[in-house]
Amino acid sequence: MSDCIFCKIVKEEIPSTRVYEDEFVIGFRDLNPLAKEHLLFIHRDHSKDINDLSDANPAQLSDVFKAISSYSKSSGLASSGFRVVTNLGSDGCQTVFHTHFHVLGGEKLGGFGS
């Protein structure tokens, strides 16, 4: 989508610090990190949110999770652990409407289960 900032990041029209890329997926650093390590993983193809993606192209979910798995193992993030979060809609506080998965780690995270 032409007015989507994450599509612009995919096309490198907006700069980002990429940590991962393959044929389907890119991973890059969040502009406003909420943890020592805060990455965003997105499919190169535009979808609005996880429901949109699951309806239209559910295989993209495995593309993204394979990428997260690969990155987390090669970067060492998986050895200490991490959290994956996706927000949807208003109550979920979604602000960018290109499906994305926050990968948070690099330190002990508060919140869920602690």
User: Where does this chain bind Zn ion (CB under 5 A)?
Assistant: 1, 4, 6-7, 46, 98
Binders of ligand 5GP among residues 76 to 95 (CB under 6 A) are: 87, 93-95
Residues forming the active site: 100
| Window 21-60: contact mask with ligand 5GP (x via CB under 6 A) | -------xxxxx-------x--------------------
- Give the nearer residue to ligand 5GP in terms of CB position, either 7 or 78: 7
Q: Could you tell me the smallest distance in angstroms from the CB atom of residue 6 to Zn ion? A: 5
- Give the nearer residue to ligand 5GP in terms of CB position, either 33 or 58: 33
Residue 1 touching ligand 5GP (CB under 6 A): no
DSSP string, the chain: -TT-HHHHHHTTSS---EEEE-SSEEEEE-SS-SSSEEEEEEESS--SSHHHHHHH-THHHHHHHHHHHHHHHHHSHHHH-EEEE---TTTTT--S-S--EEEEESS---STT-
Kind and range of the H or E run holding 47: none
Structure tokens at 54: 């699951």
Would you tell me which residues interact with ligand 5GP (CB under 6 A)?
A: 5, 14, 16, 28-32, 40, 87, 93-96
